[in-house]
Amino acid sequence: MQRRYHRHFMHLPATAMNRTERFYKIDQLLHESRVVPIQRFLDDLGISRATFKRDIEYMRDRLHAPIAWDREAGGYHFASEPGDGPRYELPGVWFSAGELYALLAAQKLLSDIEPGLLEPHLAPLQARLAAILEATGHPADQITQRVRLLSLGKRRVEPRFFSTIANALLVRRQIEITAWNRGRDEVDIRTISPQRLVHYRDNWYLDAWCHWRQALRSFSVDAIRKVSTLAFAAVDVPDADMESHFRSAYGIFAGTPIATAVLIFSAERARWVKKERWHRDQQGETLPDGSYRLRVPYADERELLMDIQRHGSQVRVEEPESLRAKVADEARKVLSMYPEE
């Protein structure tokens, strides 16, 4: 008899159980006790007697579960499986895309941590994640071998700086940072009040109130070269203001939108792009020729330019003219690097 369940189902509220989860719960109860009274099933599953009877009949008829009623003991039990009959096997549990991503991402983050003080505390978490993955009926190492999470463009963060930033963020203290501005290739010294850490496109960013600019700014944590905690309490920016600033425009370089980009994707590229979410307030429409028009509000075109360029000749900027000019100028610069022989 093959059992493929996990204790995870023991902790599910009855109202949260779907039919497959009830099958695993029934299987587990029958394996834990020699005989299980029907009232125990009803109490633990939170279902009616009629629903329970339907579940038992389905497990017997469709899954070939050797469940028998013991009149003298007043309960159900597992009988011996017939040697020549179909083998009893519960259906494998699988996860949604979001659930699988969360599990594998957590496992990947834990595996990336170097051995240290947290190792004894993290080991049980890693074992727990592996056990949940194995609830599918497949070994955890097989799943991680067959399903991969790939990082692209991940930049290394200095651990000691990250720790100082995270601590100041939580104890609500201002910090002074020395940060490299990649665009200008200059080093700036800023006093900031950290508001939140954001993991975006495989890299860490710090949303903060900049006391020099007197405005919200986002800093790449990997570009910070020095950090020190100050004695002053951090300025707290209301959540509503944070959301308004960082979610109103496209990408990590947020702020009040200055324009709306109108992009026309070819019919071929539209097959992918119209399934993508570039911004919560985006608007898209499929045009008669199969191409796709996407409208995206933005405050800073740097990240938007990079995303437009990755689509090459499969996208055309319709509006605004300033964005069209920058994309065209960049295209001319690229072309100049490949002169005709």
pLDDT in tens, 86-138: 778 776 667 778 888 888 888 888 887 767 778 788 888 888 888 878 767 67
> For position 110, what pLDDT does the model report?
84
Q: Across the strands, what pairs with 224?
A: 179
Q: 124-133, 173-182, 198-207, 278-287 — which is least confidently predicted?
A: 124-133
d(CA 158, CA 185): 19
Confidence band, pLDDT 50/70/90 cuts, at residue 7: very low
Got the DSSP string for 3-32? ----GGGGGS-GGG--HHHHHHHHHHHHHH
Average of per-residue pLDDT values in the chain: 87
3-state secondary structure 226-249: EEEEEEEECCCCCHHHHHHHHHCC
Distances (CA, A) of 165 to 96, 115, 129, 245, 260: 34, 22, 28, 21, 34
Place of tokens 């004894």: 120
The pTM for the full model equals: 0.68
d(CA 121, CA 166): 20
Place of tokens 């200095």: 158
257 closest CA partner among 296, 220, 284: 296
pLDDT in tens, 247-271: 888 888 777 889 999 999 999 999 9
